[in-house]
Structure 1
């Protein structure tokens, strides 16, 4: 059997399609035409699994250009200003009016059962999750990672790296754009389950500090830069990775 491999032109065309698709989904979810506020916000959920799945595949393949196609290249118009996708939304955005729904989704993913059953548990005092949508997507996307990982431990690493690149793309955009308010430029809304799943006494241990060291050690040879992430500038990458590390450490300190 002859296998036809994609050319560079084909690959670029595919990446363009990914970016346009993400931009269109974002445009639809942000097109407010009236109705219940909670339901309007819930439409943004559609962005999350698609973006996570795309970034996860890109990280598994060490393809920086594809990471960009799902995070930074899609543009979202908000009040006449253009934002990168990861700076325009967050895991909390769809559930800001119905926070209980996020924890219920997480419980269904973790324990199975129906939404009604898990809602009843929640109402009886089962409690909330620190990062419910991260927990939910961690389980929902597990089957898609089968081609890239050997076991659950490797999958967890891949998922945490995925959220890391989403957060770093947001932090890099915020630091290099005048459309993001000053007060939130160093704070990421994408610090997911890694903030409580990794428990280290040493603040220099863990995936986020390791990423900073990778950037500092590899500089312009760090694979995301070869695909144009962080403007191809390793100093910008170091700033974004350091900001992500600081956000992760701050989340860890709040929870332990």
Structure 2
């Protein structure tokens, strides 16, 4: 790549920044971007000035001008000469053409180089390759470069893969940052859709992989439950980047933009309803991505009071179950108990391992050797713990996060009850039955005087009536009677759960 004779990216820098440029070139290589830099691209005996001039004027489709305090502090440098040549070439290009891209290795200003026509170098969009945003900016940069070079083989999804590989970045954090950047930029919506679709397909690929559900489990009962916990953790790690992106979209997007996430949620919930052979306990785990993603959407949209987004993500989509004659609501088709198929040990081990930062075998031993008692609501404890990092920027305070988590549980529970009520009414034969199964840690927290989110919702509804936020967001079909029926039924079941937690 260093001595490519074809089109390339020219990297201009001062030698004091060689370490940072090495890192940048590692990203370019991972993204299959040919580049030219003096250290690697000059052969023995080359006339370096002529070669650099040729590289800039002859084959460079993008010129990266890398700045730092090292470059700003130099009165004279070969980089200045390269940049002078680059500005000459830039002035020949049509207005709006992307060719010269400043890159910052620190927070200092981009120099005020005169580009002509009243423009300066600092007027151009630049990439910040430093700090926490490095990976997201790097992914954005290589995507832009491939667009300029006309290479259709690398889209945003592949850029994400390349930067993750080159920087060891956390995929969920990276996708979350990219979603923040792309969601507000109409020109990058297609790229963002591709990114989200890529994450959905990664998860669905695992859910349809026979190796993930084939048996037998084998071994002792302890070994079997640890195998299940390992599979559950792997599914969560696969789903985590989607949830990171969903958290941003549910808060800041609008219903017309939420199609990729809505489709992903529907696909996750639909997947375990399809007939597939395998071990029942492993088959049940296929509910995990959908269940976790629904909770993420409920927490993100509900806490932001974006009721229209909650409707678009959780209420409007439906799935088909072979056992049901009508489409089924997402919140009815799965629930916090579905992934664990009645196995109480599994969610307890997951929760204990996450909360105490222990391997699964140690977490299991804590219970079997009576060093710890089981949780009232182990699935909810696990959800609360694994989703905390995704929502850390929204609620640095743990208690505020816990209160919003309680409220989200209650809202999902009431919406699930509404879905049940609508199904029963549609059946019209008096034989249909069912109730919400979305209960969690808010039940024991209410029992121990940490607040009662259902009573809070009832108070709001009683005070605001038809002007209640969820009704104005068209939840419960915008129908006051439906909202009251769902709230009353869920409140009764919630109170019974609370009574068992004393």
Q: Give the TM bin, normalised by the shorter chain.
A: 0.7 to 0.9
- Is residue 25 from structure 1 mapped to residue 273 from structure 2 by the alignment? no
Q: Where does residue 107 of structure 1 map in the other structure?
A: 352
- Match for 1:240 among 452, 468, 486? 486
Kept in 2: contact 1:168–1:244 (CA 8 A): yes
> Which residue of structure 2 lines up, in the alignment, with residue 151 of structure 1?
397
Assess, with a 3 A threshold, how the Cα gap between structure 1 residues 63 and 112 changes in structure 2: closer, same or farther: same
Match of 2:330 among 75, 85, 100: 85
Q: How does 1:1-256 map to 2 (within 5 A)?
A: 5=184, 11-78=254-321, 79=323, 80-125=325-370, 126-178=372-424, 182-184=432-434, 187-199=435-447, 206-256=452-502
Structure 1 contact 170–188 (Cα < 8 Å) conserved: yes
Residue of structure 1 equivalent to 2:216 = none
Please give the alpha-carbon distance, in whole angstroms, between the structure 1 residues aligned to 2:467 and 2:260.
27
Provide the C-alpha distance between the structure 2 equivalents of 1:97 and 1:250, rounded to a whole number of angstroms: 20
Indicate if the aligned counterparts of 1:60 and 1:148 stay in contact, CA closer than 8 A. Answer: no
User: How big is the shift at 1:31?
Assistant: 1.7
Contact 1:58 1:67 (C-alpha < 8 Å) held by counterparts: yes
CA 97–199 in structure 1, closer or farther in 2 if over 3 Å, else same: closer
Classify 1:236/1:156 alpha carbon distance in 2 versus 1 (closer, same or farther; 3 Å).
Answer: same
Deviation readout 1:60-84 (Å, 9 max, x if unpaired)? 2111122123322221211243110
Superposed displacement of residue 95, structure 1: 0.5
Q: What RMSD in Å do the two structures reach over aligned CA positions?
A: 2.5
Unaligned runs of 5+ in 2: 1-122, 126-180, 187-252
User: Structure 2: how far apart are the matches of 1:247 and 1:98?
Assistant: 22
Q: TM-score normalised to the size of structure 1?
A: 0.88
- Between the aligned partners of 1:47 and 1:232, the Cα distance in structure 2 is 26
Q: Is the 8 A contact 1:32 1:40 kept in 2?
A: no
CA deviation after TM superposition for structure 1 residue 244, in Å: 2.4
Shift of 1:217: 0.9
Distance 1:12 1:195, change over 3 A: closer
- Equivalent residues of 1:41, 1:97 under 8 A apart: no
Structure 2 SS opposite 1:81: coil
Structure 1 residue 130 displacement after superposition? 2.0
Structure showing greater radius of gyration is 2
Residues 200 and 42 of structure 1, relative CA distance in 2, 3 Å threshold: closer
8 Å contact kept, 2:254–2:309: no
SS at 2:320 equivalent: strand
The superposition leaves residues 11-40 of structure 1 with CA deviations (integer Å, 9 ceiling, x where unpaired) of 333223222111111222222210111110
CA distance in 1, matches of 2:459, 2:342: 39
Provide the C-alpha distance between the structure 2 equivalents of 1:212 and 1:93, rounded to a whole number of angstroms: 28
C-alpha distance in 2, partners of 1:43/1:124?
Answer: 30
Q: Which residue of 1 aligns with 2:221?
A: none
**Quick one: structure 1 residues 13 and 6, their matched pair in 2 at CA, closer, same or farther if it must change by over 3 Å?**
farther
Give 1:5 shift.
Answer: 4.6
Residue of structure 1 in register with 2:104 after alignment: none
In structure 1, stretches of 5+ residues that fail to align are none
TM-score, length of structure 2 as denominator length: 0.46
Q: Distance in 2 between matches of 1:217 and 1:88?
A: 32
Q: CA deviation at 1:152?
A: 1.2
Tell me the matched-pair count: 250
DSSP-derived class of the 1:188 partner: coil
User: In the TM superposition, what is the alpha-carbon distance from 1:132 to its structure 2 partner?
Assistant: 0.7
- Do 1:214 and 1:222's aligned partners in 2 also have CA atoms closer than 8 Å? yes
Cα deviation for residue 55 of structure 1 reads 1.2
